[in-house]
């Protein structure tokens, strides 16, 4: 996230000898956006990926995603550079465990956060109970 908002060239290719430069870009991006904004963007990016992996993105959610990250190439490169350099950038536990947040009405529960379904209580005995339960797509909070 921080790299996306920094002066890092979109076509930049990471190399070990650039570590100091990458760290500068990270600091620059954090200074531009602020930590809260970066966390929120990272959570929404995780939420978008979760839907995308399930082929469940909606036009509305895609539109917001593209507004936040107009350049898919830049986003890919920023993520790649971050993953290559993550071993030396200290990641706080809070940043590692960011919840995946869906930016828009959830396509599974329509934003209600709950679903009427048959919930498996015990698979072995075939015990199901029908009723409302938390939406597994948008309410479990974990990344995909
Ligand atoms: Zn949902």
Q: What is the pLDDT of residues 19-35, one digit of tens each?
A: 889 989 999 999 999 99
Q: How confident is the model at residue 86 (pLDDT cuts 50, 70, 90)?
A: low
Distance from residue 95's CA to the centre of ligand 1 (Å): 23
Phi, psi dihedrals of residue 78, rounded to the nearest 5°: -65, -40
Distance from residue 75's CA to the centre of ligand 1 (Å): 26
Higher pLDDT, 30 or 93: 30
Neighbouring residues of 4: CB distance < 8 A, sequence distance ≥ 6: 29, 69, 74, 75, 78
Average pLDDT over residues 6-14: 94
Can you give the pLDDT at residue 89?
A: 58
Q: Are 32 and 81 in contact (CB under 8 A)?
A: no
Residue 143 has pLDDT above 50, yes or no: no
Distance from residue 80's CA to the centre of ligand 1 (Å): 29
Average pLDDT over residues 121-129: 86
Distance from residue 50's CA to the centre of ligand 1 (Å): 12
Distance from residue 111's CA to the centre of ligand 1 (Å): 6
Report the C-alpha gap between 1 and 31 in whole angstroms: 12
Distance from residue 126's CA to the centre of ligand 1 (Å): 25
| This prediction's pTM | 0.76
Residue 87 has pLDDT above 90, yes or no: no
Distance from residue 134's CA to the centre of ligand 1 (Å): 8
């Amino acid at each position: 996230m921080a790299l996306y908002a920094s002066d890092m060239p979109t076509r930049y290719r990471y190399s070990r000898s650039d570590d100091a430069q990458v760290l500068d870009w990270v600091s620059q991006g954090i200074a531009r956006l602020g930590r809260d904004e970066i966390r929120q963007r990272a959570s929404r990016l995780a939420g978008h990926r979760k839907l995308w992996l399930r082929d469940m993105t909606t036009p509305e959610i895609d539109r917001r995603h593209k507004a936040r990250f107009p350049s898919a190439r830049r986003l890919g490169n920023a993520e790649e550079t971050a993953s290559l350099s993550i071993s030396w950038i200290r990641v706080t536990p809070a940043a590692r465990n960011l919840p995946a947040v869906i930016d828009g009405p959830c396509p599974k529960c329509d934003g209600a956060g709950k679903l009427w379904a048959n919930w498996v209580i015990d698979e072995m005995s075939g015990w199901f109970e029908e009723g409302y339960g938390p939406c597994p797509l948008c309410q479990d909070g974990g990344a995909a």
